[in-house]
Amino acid sequence: MTHPATQAAAPGLAVVALGGNAITLENQAGTYDEMADNCRDMARALWALIGSGWRVVITHGNGPQVGNLALQGMRSADEVPPLPLHALDAMTQGLIGHLIELAIVNEAPAQSPPVASVVTHVVVGNDDPAFDHPTKPIGPFYSFEEGARLAARHGWQVIDDSSRGQRRVVASPKPLAILEVDALKLMIDAGILVIACGGGGIPVSEDMGIHGVEAVIDKDRSAAVLAAAVNADALILVTGVDSVMVDFGTPAAHVLTEASTERMRGLLAEGQFPPGSMGPKVEAAIAFAEDSGGTAVITSAAHLADALAPDACVGTRIVAMAPALSHGRGTA
């Protein structure tokens, strides 16, 4: 099964959103060496995409990493003052940007573009309803019993994260604007491979000056804002699966290879995509495709280049208009 050739995106500028859970895998402790190894694997996939003709802007998540930092802060609070979430977001931007940049440079072929990681601030609204309804999972996975114990001890809210375990959730307000966007455009136009909006960006409010906000912005939503702001042709949302599945975990489960934004919005309304995992990716893909007319793709790191190829048979491609051709159940 292939995507309709009429929907294949010609090489241009792509924003690639790497997941924090791909930098620290589910079964890992999150050591520096583990994260560095995972970033090297992603760097090879990124160079394959660049080698196919695409210019690339990179962003990344920070869910496991920012949660681990928050946990460290709580456990050492009697010796070192803990920091607010927006400061931890800034710290993870520096750490993960450093890891990705070194991996990209060390895996680079000859005649590769220069690379720069930019600390990026993202504006959110003080009245965002997300502050009353936390949905963003951060930190490690816990058993049901351990999650309940920690929630009671620290005043956390915890959820079941896609049947993988209990995780702490924090506010994830909608990203509205990127403060450094003009500088990012200049760097991209100069041919620099930019890493920006890491961890969804450092959340700030513009109410009576610019100041940090206690939250973690979803990196996929920020990636959609970033992609539209820099006039990207494609947005690639990297996750742990090769393609989006509908009716997951049931006998009717099937893969979507290409779908219109209208179809994806309907599936979202049906509750097909959980708000703490695939939901934000689908919402970001819809927003980008409709706002820009570009192509959004959800796939795994291993298939970055494959998913945008004209004859792609992997990944889920989301476009504003319904595909011109139907290829059976896998398209919508």
Enzyme catalytic residues = 20-21, 136, 219, 281
Of 154, 291, 319, the C-alpha closest to 230 is: 291
Whole-number Å distance between alpha carbons of 131 and 126: 8
Among 96, 138, 136, which residue's Cα sits nearest to residue 118?
Answer: 96
HEC assignment per residue over 153-165: HHCCEEEECCCCC
Q: Are 92 and 69 in contact (CB under 8 A)?
A: yes
If you search the block for the tokens 């993988």, which residue do you land on? 164
Measured CA to CA, the distance from residue 62 to residue 216 in angstroms comes to 9
Q: Are 175 and 182 spatial neighbours (Cβ–Cβ below 8 Å)?
A: no
Lateral strand order in the sheet of 55-60:
115-117, 193-195, 55-60, 13-18, 234-239, 295-300, 316-319, 258-260
CB 222 within 8 A of CB 237: no
Half-sphere exposure of 296 toward its Cβ, with a 13 Å CA cutoff?
33
